[in-house]
Amino acid sequence: MSNLIGAIDLGSTKIAVIIASLEEKDIEVLGFSLTSSRGIRFGVINDIQEASNCIRDATQKAIKMSGIKSIPRMLVTISGEKMTAIPSKGMVIIKSRDQEVTEKDVERAIEAAKAASIAEDRELVYHVVRGFKLDGQDGIVNPIGMVGTRLESDLLLVTHDKVQLRNVVNALQKAEINIEGFIPQEIAASEAVLTSEEKNLGVVMVDIGGDLTNLAVFKDGYLHTIGVLKLGGERITKDIAITLKIPTEEAERAKKILGTLKPEKEETLEVTSLQEKRIKITTSQVREIIQPRVEEILEFILKKLEELNSPLELIPGGIVLTGGTALLDGIEDFASEYLKVPVRVSYSLRMYNLFGEKEAVFYSSAIGALERISKTSYTNEKGKKLLDYLKEIVDNIFRPFKE
């Protein structure tokens, strides 16, 4: 299968891997795995050997399931505070006699925007084309074939800290991964969980992971900006452990079984305390711990959106939640009532058909990366494919190693 490709979602609590075959915009999932993550914290590698072992283990499990013999090319989704997004515009003059915009003109306009000045300690890892302007007319999706003299492109450039990115590359190399390219987790997850209507209306995708919460803001059908919060579901687990004086493992179990934001529910669970005694805890106890932390996460989301010049009251589509914490019972209605905006929990329907809701959310970024590639790699065989662009970016990252 020459179109074999995989995706690795490098999370701080879980690593998700999907092996698939791409055929004319269609994705056939062949294998997958979800393993606990070690050596990664807040999107940063803090133990290369541990991270490498986890990546290798997760990849080998997915490969074994798929029945293939070797590791295919792998897309890698990354996140963290070390990643930033900056808007950039590029302008070119249409040189043809008939002044009709060609594919080459579009490529030149995109390259002009990518040529923006980037700090020495930053590496360009991805870009999103947000639209074009032709002779002052904006809102153009595809200018090819239109007539004009001046073409402008509007891009969002995503950069990463060079040193930290090389640590990620190092961990992947040790795991013998053939890197096809990097995709920001926010962008990948958005591809899997958002509808075209939501993007056109204006929406915020919120992926609440273990120690990070990733945000992607869409306006008028385009990605407006991305952001990250150093806060996630692990904080809720720690609060339960500290308050009830139980081990972290028991706190996680209590969160999954008793965790709810619905006031009418009441159950009892027997757990082991730090003193190794069997004690009983109730839904009410757990809810009293969970609710303030969820409110804090929602407040931080509001503040981050203000920082990103995208206040929630100006986002008609409200919020779409994904990630492990989105599985918290009652969070959809609670968040909607608290924020006074529409809120829904979403996941990839493709993965839902394989797992159901409780597992599908953990694969949002990995399957989203493959879906984004499948939509862009076959649109125009003559143009520069996204995969070609990603390879170019990876070559730039690898160059310091080769030199």
Least confident of 236-245, 296-305, 360-369: 360-369
Average confidence (pLDDT) over 53-72: 92
| Contact by Cβ (8 Å): 121, 144 | no
Q: Can you tell me the mean pLDDT for 318-324?
A: 94
One-character DSSP codes across 18-60? EEEEEETTEEEEEEEEEEE--SEETTEES-HHHHHHHHHHHHH
Whether 233 and 252 have beta carbons less than 8 Å apart is answered as no
Predicted confidence at residue 1, as pLDDT, reads 46
| Residue scoring higher pLDDT (386 or 379) | 386
Compute how many other C-beta atoms are within 10 angstroms of the C-beta atom of residue 392.
12
- CB-count burial class (<10 Å; 0-12, 13-18, 19+) for 256: middle
Burial 196-225 (b: 16+ CB within 10 A, else e): eebbebbbbbbbbbbbbbbbbbbbebbbbb
Residue type, 318: G
Structure tokens at 42: 């807040």
Domains annotated on the chain, with CATH: 83-160 (3.30.1490.110), 228-345 (3.30.420.40)
Cα dihedral value 347, 348, 351, 355, nearest 10: 20
Ranking 8-22, 83-97, 205-219, 374-388 by mean pLDDT, the lowest is: 374-388
- Most distant CA pair in the chain, distance: 84
Mean of the pLDDT values across residues 325-353? 90
CA distance 225 to 187: 10
HEC assignment per residue over 292-316: HHHHHHHHHHHHHHHHCCCCHHHCC
CB 55 within 8 A of CB 71: no
User: Distance of CA 361 to CAs 228, 257, 354, Å?
Assistant: 18, 18, 12
Strand, helix or coil for residue 69? coil
Sorting pLDDT into bands at 50, 70 and 90, what band is 385? Answer: low
CA gap 52, 268 in Å, rounded: 40
Helix (H, G, I), strand (E, B) or coil at 372: helix
Contact of 113 with 132, CB cutoff 8 Å: no
Check residues 145 and 25 and name the one with the higher pLDDT: 145
Model pTM?
Answer: 0.88
Other beta carbons within 10 angstroms of residue 292's beta carbon come to 10
The average pLDDT across 193-207 equals 95
pLDDT at 34 over 60: yes
145-155 mean pLDDT: 94
Instruction: Indicate the Cα dihedral angle 239, 240, 244, 246, nearest 10°.
Output: -110
